[in-house]
Structures are given as C-alpha cells and as structure tokens.
Amino acid sequence: MAEEVMSEAKIANASQALKPVRIWIAAMIKYHAVLKIVNPMRAIAAEMGSKLAVVMAALAEKQKTVREINAELDELRANGAKLEAQAK
C-alpha cells in the first residue's frame, strides 16, 4: 500500500517539488533496511576482532617462548660441538 501512495507517477501528478522528497524517502527506507542487516554484522565483526586480538597476543607470547627455547637450544648445540671438539 505504501508503494501505491508513494508511486512516482502519483507524486509527480501532485507536485513536481515532491519528487526529490520521494526519492530521498525511498533512499532512507532502503538505508534503514540495509542497516538492519549490516549492524548485526558489524557487532559480530567487532566481537571477532576483540577475540582475534586476544588470540594474537597469546600467539605473540608463544612465539616469544619458542624464540627463547630456540636460542637456548642453539647455545646448547654450540656448547656440545665445542665439548666434542675438545674431547678429540
């Protein structure tokens, strides 16, 4: 029924000045419909972004631990090679 009332032909017959108003109203209705879809997606994206930040912080901590272990392992290998060379 709203489409019948706001048809472009009926608006043009009533007043040429109302045509841009009709276009604006139709755009706002479409914008509202899109926001009803997009806003929940934005909320989900924000939540997932915060979860990602937590996971990335944990990953950075684990990577730091791995680097420390690898450095210690390299030192132990170097010491082992040095001891083997002294034993010969």
Q: What is the pTM of this model?
A: 0.58
> CA-to-CA distance for 49 and 75, rounded, in angstroms?
39
pLDDT single digits (tens) 19-45: 888 889 989 999 999 999 999 999 999
pLDDT band at 1, cuts 50/70/90? very low
For residue 79, give the 3-state DSSP assignment: helix
